[in-house]
Structure 1
Amino acid sequence: MTQICPKCSYIRKETDTCPAWQCPSCQVAYAKAGDTTRPQLLQPAARTNRLDRDNSALWKWLLMAALLGAVLWQLKPAGRFGSKSTTQQSADGKQTMQQPVVILYGTTWCGYCAAAREFFKANGIAYTDLDTEKTTEGYQGHKKLGGGGVPLIVIDGEVMHGYSEAGLRQALAPWIKN
């Protein structure tokens, strides 16, 4: 009967001089001489079957996680921004969409923060300006959202890292005055 070490996969030869309860390659002792209650070394088939069962269970879990991710991806809102915006009735009876909440986390010395402020001012966008260096609310909010740099712009809960005029125009298109 061929014996294989379960630790190092060494195949025992008849010429090996180590005791039967010890691996000639890695010197691991498996059972004391005369102990017949425990198997001395595992057979290759038993070891392979256990690994195959473990791998098949792992693959089943990975497949289920991938399917769940795909379902959740399909159920997300279609629009990136504006999904939380509400509609209001204007004085002339037409429905108008209310501008989403816009928060700018920035600093006074940041050029991109200044460009974002100018964009909001030029396009008639109402926003809240929170300085991350001067206010505790600004610092903690910036940190809570992942921070990393300024400006950090939040539009109805959607976070935009950095300044992108094209991104702002796309997100705020219905409310831009120009």
Structure 2
Amino acid sequence: MAWRELWPLLAIVAVVWGLSTWARQGLHEGQAQSLRERAKPGDIVMLSSRSCAYCSQAREWFEAERIPYAECFIESNAQCAQRFRETLAQGTPTFLVRGQVIVGLDRARMVALLEQAGAVQR
């Protein structure tokens, strides 16, 4: 197949990829704003591991977006390790959002839990 025949297909793939990336970025920005508005210190606790790359990515995102959260490391904090075992989670990061367990950085679920808790508190 010649490049001339592939060009339209490659252009479509590039446009779809670009739009998808743009939409995902906008979604994450909206979720970050919602979390900043709703999360109070102590609402979000990240149970993490020092060797976890996903934990590092989550930490960087929370800090860059100025979202209040607490972090504890399961290797060096016995209480944190116990909380992690109690969640029955298979890996880190595991988040406790007002006591509810979320495995992985699920921004939409965090927003939903904080919105539910906010509606109950009114």
TM (norm. structure 1) is: 0.38
Equivalent residue in structure 2 for 1:133, among 72, 75, 92? 75
C-alpha separation between the residues in 2 aligned to 1:163 and 1:121?
14
Q: Which runs of at least 4 in structure 1 moved beyond 2 Å after TM superposition?
A: 96-100, 163-173
Which residue of 2 is the match for residue 115 of structure 1?
A: 57
**Percent of residue pairs identical:** 24
- Greater relative contact order (CA < 8 Å, ≥ 6 in sequence): 2
Equivalent residue in structure 2 for 1:153, among 92, 95, 107? 95
User: 1:13-162 to 2 correspondence within 5 Å?
Assistant: 99=40, 101-162=43-104
Structure (1 or 2) with the greater helix fraction: 2
Q: Indicate the RMSD between aligned Cα atoms, in angstroms.
A: 2.5
Pair 98,117 (structure 1): closer, same or farther in 2 beyond 3 Å: closer
Deviation, 1:163, is 2.4
Structure 1 regions of 5+ residues with no counterpart?
1-95, 174-178
Partner-residue secondary structure (3-state), 1:125: coil
Partner-residue secondary structure (3-state), 1:121: helix
Q: Give the count of matched residue pairs.
A: 78
Partner-residue secondary structure (3-state), 2:50: coil
Partner-residue secondary structure (3-state), 1:141: helix
C-alpha separation between the residues in 1 aligned to 2:74 and 2:44?
16
C-alpha separation between the residues in 1 aligned to 2:114 and 2:94?
16
C-alpha separation between the residues in 1 aligned to 2:74 and 2:39?
27
C-alpha separation between the residues in 2 aligned to 1:167 and 1:122?
20
Cα deviation, 1:15-45, whole Å, max 9, x if unaligned, reads xxxxxxxxxxxxxxxxxxxxxxxxxxxxxxx
Which residue of 1 is the match for residue 105 of structure 2?
A: 163
- Larger gyration radius, structure 1 or structure 2: 1
C-alpha separation between the residues in 2 aligned to 1:146 and 1:152?
10
TM (norm. structure 2) is: 0.54
